[in-house]
Each structure stands twice: as structure tokens, then as C-alpha cells.
Structure 1
Amino acid sequence: MTAKRVLHVTQVYAGGISRAIRSLVELTPEVEHHLLWAGNEEPDDSLPFATVHSMPQSPRRMAASVRRVQEVAALVRPDIVHAHSSFGGVYARLARIEAPVFYEPHCYKFDDGQQPVVLRGIYRLVEKGLAKRSKATVVLSPHEERLAKSLDAEASTYLLPNVATIAPSLEHPATGFQLPRDVFMIGRLTGQKDPRYFAAVAEEVHAIDPSISFRWIGGIDGEDDGRGARMQQQLETAGVRVLGWLNGDALAAELARPGLYFHSAHYEGFPLSLLDAAAFEHPLAVRQIPTFDGLDLPDARTPAQAARLVLEILDGGPARARAVAAAEHLNMTMNRDAQRTALRQLYTSV
């Protein structure tokens, strides 16, 4: 039997999205994977992509990107186009191609409550207009599935559990839930991940205990218009050490350092970084957002509340046991076997 041929399309090959694609490729070796990409990371030569193709990174070159999808699809002749994130989804669904498009938003931009109402409305209209062009929408949480159904009540959705994309090793072992006075976050320097919120938490904590250290693992996303640089400056002013983009052994080395993982994003699909931190046995706490509903993660709404939560966990209060239990629960329920099963169902559906 001929292997199913899948073309992955993304304009943000970096951070969580590149790690998510890596996971999909590694878990379905029976599938012939191709990649059309732009982003801040070069695709890893160790990944068994049958072919790799580049595309323009700037959203301002949308017409060229759509044409590039058409060119590569004509060359590869995929059975499925798996489009990742907002712009990848726009390009693939606007392109004149025969293959069905499976769209994985990795969080909807119109779910960004910090954007002006008019702009959110525009994002929603675009998604709604393109929804019928998706053969299926690949969602990462029940919250994201509700959003997909709000765009198209008849939408076909597949819930794909995210999994950790990096594992402990002898060289970089799990921390065993040790907890020094250190707090960290992994994410791009973008409004979605909200470095300003993380900086505010650091400031609130330092006002009470300046000995606690804060780290941000991640860097500027794509073509920066100055906002990413300003976010980095805000973090550094608040006493947060910004480490930039780390991958492979460098990321594993940071994850092997004990600390409390606090996720500051204000909207999400489901963050891989949270699962990576759980895999390395870090206690977890999060900003209160709908994505995490029902998971019993220690959470807080405001930076002041988050600072109190961080201090309670670091000081061994009641929330510490919940922070450990949350990581253990994610490790048991969001794992490679569950994702492999869901992926095979997805790719054999056409």
C-alpha cells in the first residue's frame, strides 16, 4: 500500500509549532511527510521529511505565499494538506489545490482578548469565511473545539491531544519536583504569550521577596515591528533573565534546572511548553484562561493574585501539592500513545 502523503504548511516554524510538527512526524513514520515553511528556525535535518520547501515569511506577501502553496502542492501531490497556525491556514485554504486541508489553528487569533474589538471581529470574519474550506479542524482543547463550532456549526473537528516534545535523559534528567526559588516560562515574545503579564508578576513577587529568580525562554517572533524588543526590555527591567530561543540540548539543559513553571499566555490552543515542563517534573501554575478549564491547575487571574500563588507554591503552601499533581496528571493523560492514536484516525479519515 502506498504511504499517505501529507504536506505541512506553516508560516511560523518556531517554538511550539515547530515542536508540534516534529511530534506529528515522529509518531507517524508510516506517513510520507513534506514541509512548506517560513519561520525563525531551520527545519532539523534529523527529521525524516521527504522534501522541504521554503515560503515568504512576511504576511504582507500573502499572494506570493498562496502561489507557493499551489506550486508545492502541484509538485508534491499530497493526499492531505495539514495547515498549521493562522496564516498557514489562510494560505492553504485560499490556494487552488485538490488535496483536502486539515486546519490546525494552534489557537484562534480572534480569541485574543487584548486585541481591539474591531480587529477581533475582522479575524473572526476571515476564519468564518474560510471555515467551509477546511476538510476538518484539528483542535487542541474542548475550548478550541467550541470556537471552531462557533464558526461553522457543521464543522468536522478532531481533538488532537498535545504531548511533550522533549524528554528527560541521563544527561538532562527530570527534576523530581525539586523547587528552588526560581520561576520560568517558555514562549515567543508576542502579545499572545504576554511577557508584560509575566514581568508584572515578577515585579509583584520581587516587592515581597527579591531573592526569587525569573527566566523567560524564548525570543522575538518572525519579522519584529519593535513590539518584541519592547517586551524583552520590559522583562529585563522587571528582573527577568531572557534566554532567547533554545532548542534540543540547550532547551533540555534549561528544563533540567528545577523551578516553578508559570504559564502567562492570555489565550491558547494547548501549550506544548506546559507539557514539556510537566515531562521534566516541574510543578505547574497558570494564568486563568478557558483553555485550562477542568484541569485543576493552580491558577490566578491578575498579576497580584499570580504573585501570591507563586509565593504560596515556593513557600510550601497548599497550592504546592496541586502544582505537582497537575504535572503528574498531564503526564498520564497527554502522552505519545494518545496522540499517535488520534493522528492515525485523522490521517486515515480521507
Structure 2
Amino acid sequence: MRFVDIPAPGGPEALILAEGPAPEPQPGEVLIRVAAAGINRPDVRQRQGSYPPPPGASPVPGLEVAGTVVAVGAGIDWPAVGDEVCALTPGGGYAELCRAPAAHCLPIPEGLDLIAAAALPETFFTVWYNLFMRAGLKTGERVLIHAGTSGIGTVALQLAAAFGAIPYATAAGAEKCQACRDLGAVAAIDRTRENFETALPGLTEGAKVDVVLDIVGGDYVAKNLRLLATHGRLTQVSFIKPSEVTVDAKLLMTKCLTWTGSTLRPRSLEEKAEIARQLRAQVWPLLESGRVKPLVNATFPLEEVAEAHRLMESDRHIGKIVLTVTG
């Protein structure tokens, strides 16, 4: 089979197309013929050498796929050979064939094709786990979502609005701010023109926010904590800026704040299976009704994976970037 290899860490040119044997599904796993694979920031970090796969995971990058099940391991009731699924994977997605835990597979939502479905697992698992399971976002609460046009941001804005929260966003430039409003933000702050910490109170009539979803880090963290209301929650899902930050920790005590976060890839099989169950019950109906949808900005064939990574690093895209793998 064809797959993307990283012989040595580096820039996008470090990604090369290679040939190798097909993986075999282990007990509890399925083998998927990959039609499409989503690209995510952790893939970029893995290529750069700062995010190695966990023990036992494929060294091939790619954390989400959509395609057709072609083989199943022992002990599986669903999915079956021939079923079309999308799946969260611990690695191996940039390939013609990919193993995935059966419990981390989800059916293709009615009305979506395999390319759109490949943009679902990583971001929807991440947002649901962090924004709803960990931060406990509730109807009527104000939530600030940074990088609103990223893959994470576009999903978080839609889900927050769909579940009755009041979302605000930050983004870079007028076009991206308008995209945030189109996705459900009641207001968007252009980070290239304004300091979000001073701009947000003017949009909320001085009210603090209940939840912040942050993928930026750095100096954003201290600002996030200051913007939170009493009993507010900051959930950290990534660090584009440095992860070593200086904050006034007294705020955690005086405002009874919660600062939490997670990295999805090393979570246990059981934790990720529970996220999948909740998504299927609570979010998949929204996808099938069209109330929520993945935003695919661009697709690239597997042979142009380096160009796909260059677009990811350019930060010009709005939404997801997807590799097309097999027909």
C-alpha cells in the first residue's frame, strides 16, 4: 500500500510517499480502506519531531479517516466489512489502509460524503471532550473561542450555538471574523487590530465569560483568566504560542476558576469510546439535520501532502484541510 513516511523531522518536504505492507487489524480493531484523511496541527508537530506517536501507534501521520471497512479483528459487533465509517485513529491515516479501534468508528452522517466525513473525528472528539465534557458548557453561558476559523474553532462555534450557548470568537482579519459570525458567533474580534481582552467587555456589556476554549496559549492565558466570570472554566487544547506562561494564580482562588486541558491522542481507549458514544447520540443528529456541518476549505491528493501541510502552516485556510487517498 502507499503511505506517507517521515524519514527525518523537518519542513513539509520531509513528507514522502512510500510503499509498504498493509497493516492487519488486531482484536477490537477494523481495517479501513481510506478514501480521505483529515489534516490537523498535531500532524504538523509530528512531522517537525515534537509530537511522537504514543507506544504501539503507527508512525504514519494522520489522526482521522473516512472510508470503507475491509477487514475486522476478533470481538467486533460493529462495524462490519463493507460499512462506510469515519474514525479517530492513533496514527496511520495518511495511507491507503489504516487500522482503527472499532469503538472509535462512527457511521457517515446522512447527507455527507466521505471527504466531509474525514473532517469530523479529530475536531469533533476534541471539541466535545473539552468544551462540553470537561468545561461543562451550558445553555445560556457565554463562551469565548479563540482561533474561530481553525478546524477546532469552526466546530466549537457551531456546537456552542447549537446547544444554546452565547459564543464569541477571535480571528485574524475581516474575512475570518465574518466567517465566525456566519458559524454562530454573536461577535468576533479581529486580533490583528484589537486586543481581545479590552474589546470583549464592550461586546458583552461588561459581563465576564463563563468558558474560554483556547488553542493559542502564551500571553492569551493570563488574559483568559482575567476575562472569566466567577466559577469560570478555561479549557486548553493546544499551544501555538509558548506553553510556559506567567499568570496571577490568585485568580483561580478568588474567582473559583477551573483551568483544565487535554491532549486527545494519549487518552485511553475507553475514554475515547465514551466520547464516540456521546457524539453519536447528541451531535450526529445535528450533522444529519444540517444544523452543524464540517467546513472543508481545501482537498489535496495524497501525492501533494507537502502542499497540504504548507497551507496548514500558512494559516490562510478557514476550516479543515483534507487528503484524498483512494477513489
Q: Shared fold (TM-score greater than 0.5)?
A: no
Bigger helix fraction: 1
Report the TM-score when normalising by structure 2: 0.36
**Quick check: which one's strand share is greater?**
2
- TM-score by structure 1 length? 0.34
